[in-house]
Structure 1
Amino acid sequence: MLVRLTYLIATRIFAWLFLMTRSSATKNVEILILRHELAVLRRQVTTPKPGWPDRALLAALSRLLPRALREHRIVSPRTLLAWHQRLVKQKWTQPPSTGRPPRPRRSAT
């Protein structure tokens, strides 16, 4: 129990020290992302389903965060790829080709 408490306190102290070394622009971007994520989550009772404007804003702002912080957002790189694949799939749906048209049969004479 004491070891766990010591570990938690030490990790918090290191996290605060790391936070102090970051620039204010990075901190402001993270605050904007967290506020927008919170607004999206408050609008929904079940699983978060952000709309297109929400996705665009979160994707744009998440690019400004350091890579280590991007992994802990609801918009991860994997999520962005899934959104892009879904968008392409909806946009470029074509019926499957039936193949080569059949050749006319010749009568055996």
Structure 2
Amino acid sequence: MNSIMERWIQTCRRELLDRTLIWNQPHLLHALREFETFYNEHRPHRTLRQAAPLRPLPEPSTIPTETTRIDIRRHDRLGGVLREYAHAA
């Protein structure tokens, strides 16, 4: 369990804290909540076959025409420090 927390702290520091100027404790807590949500609900993890921990794996597409044109939308969090990409509906 200790290694899991060490990895999370390392990732949080590299992807969030090294890129963000933190003003005060409420700002730090807000940034950490946003990162936690991003990390668990959107960020792809290699060990989970590019899925997020709290999101089910998408079904693979077997229809060739579905992969020819994919419309992707980007959503910025924390002023663009964290970026989420999703298929447009």
By the TM > 0.5 criterion, same fold? no
Tell me the TM-score normalized by structure 2: 0.34
The structure whose Rg is larger is 1
Q: Which has the higher strand share?
A: 2
Whose relative contact order is higher, 1 or 2, with alpha carbons under 8 Å and at least 6 apart? 2
Tell me the TM-score normalized by structure 1: 0.29
